Amino acid sequence: MEHDVQLPLRKQAHSVDNVAEIIGTGRDGIYAAIRSGQLRARKFGRRTLILEHDLRAFLESLPELDLKGNQA
Protein backbone atom coordinates (compact mmCIF):
# COMPACT_ATOMS: atom_id res chain seq x y z
CA MET A 1 0.00 0.00 0.00
CA GLU A 2 1.45 3.37 -1.04
CA HIS A 3 1.22 6.39 1.22
CA ASP A 4 0.77 9.83 -0.25
CA VAL A 5 3.48 11.86 1.48
CA GLN A 6 2.75 15.59 1.63
CA LEU A 7 5.66 17.94 2.09
CA PRO A 8 5.03 21.18 3.97
CA LEU A 9 4.45 24.15 1.69
CA ARG A 10 7.09 26.83 1.63
CA LYS A 11 5.85 30.26 2.51
CA GLN A 12 4.82 32.00 -0.71
CA ALA A 13 4.00 35.43 0.74
CA HIS A 14 5.26 37.51 3.65
CA SER A 15 3.80 40.29 5.76
CA VAL A 16 5.56 43.65 5.95
CA ASP A 17 6.67 42.82 9.50
CA ASN A 18 8.08 39.48 8.35
CA VAL A 19 9.99 41.07 5.45
CA ALA A 20 11.42 43.71 7.78
CA GLU A 21 12.61 40.93 10.10
CA ILE A 22 14.03 38.86 7.22
CA ILE A 23 16.18 41.66 5.82
CA GLY A 24 16.90 43.40 9.13
CA THR A 25 15.26 46.76 8.53
CA GLY A 26 12.23 48.60 9.84
CA ARG A 27 8.67 48.63 8.56
CA ASP A 28 9.12 52.23 7.36
CA GLY A 29 11.91 51.14 5.03
CA ILE A 30 9.74 48.38 3.57
CA TYR A 31 6.81 50.74 3.01
CA ALA A 32 9.18 53.29 1.42
CA ALA A 33 10.45 50.63 -1.00
CA ILE A 34 6.85 49.72 -1.85
CA ARG A 35 5.86 53.38 -2.41
CA SER A 36 8.88 53.99 -4.65
CA GLY A 37 8.07 50.95 -6.77
CA GLN A 38 11.27 49.10 -5.83
CA LEU A 39 9.34 46.36 -4.03
CA ARG A 40 6.07 44.93 -5.37
CA ALA A 41 3.34 44.26 -2.86
CA ARG A 42 -0.18 42.84 -3.01
CA LYS A 43 -3.27 43.51 -0.93
CA PHE A 44 -5.39 40.75 0.60
CA GLY A 45 -8.13 42.49 2.49
CA ARG A 46 -6.35 44.87 4.83
CA ARG A 47 -3.09 42.91 4.74
CA THR A 48 -0.13 43.96 2.65
CA LEU A 49 1.72 40.92 1.33
CA ILE A 50 5.03 40.57 -0.49
CA LEU A 51 5.34 37.48 -2.63
CA GLU A 52 8.48 35.40 -2.15
CA HIS A 53 9.65 35.92 -5.74
CA ASP A 54 9.08 39.71 -5.48
CA LEU A 55 11.18 39.83 -2.31
CA ARG A 56 13.96 37.91 -4.04
CA ALA A 57 13.80 40.21 -7.08
CA PHE A 58 13.96 43.27 -4.80
CA LEU A 59 17.00 41.96 -2.93
CA GLU A 60 18.77 41.01 -6.15
CA SER A 61 18.12 44.49 -7.59
CA LEU A 62 19.91 46.25 -4.73
CA PRO A 63 23.31 47.66 -5.69
CA GLU A 64 26.40 45.77 -4.64
CA LEU A 65 28.60 47.37 -2.02
CA ASP A 66 31.69 48.92 -3.61
CA LEU A 67 34.25 49.17 -0.82
CA LYS A 68 37.02 50.40 -3.13
CA GLY A 69 35.04 53.44 -4.25
CA ASN A 70 33.79 54.32 -0.76
CA GLN A 71 37.04 54.39 1.24
CA ALA A 72 38.17 57.77 2.53
Q: Give the pLDDT confidence of 17-68 residue by residue, as tens digits.
A: 999 999 999 999 999 999 999 999 999 999 999 999 999 999 999 999 888 8
7: pLDDT strictly greater than 70: no
Predicted structure pTM score: 0.77
11: pLDDT strictly greater than 90: no
pLDDT band at residue 10 under the 50/70/90 scheme: confident
Residue 70's pLDDT is 60
* Per-residue b or e along 29-60, where b marks 16 or more CB atoms closer than 10 Å to that residue's CB: ebeebbeeeebebeeeeeebbbeeebbeebee
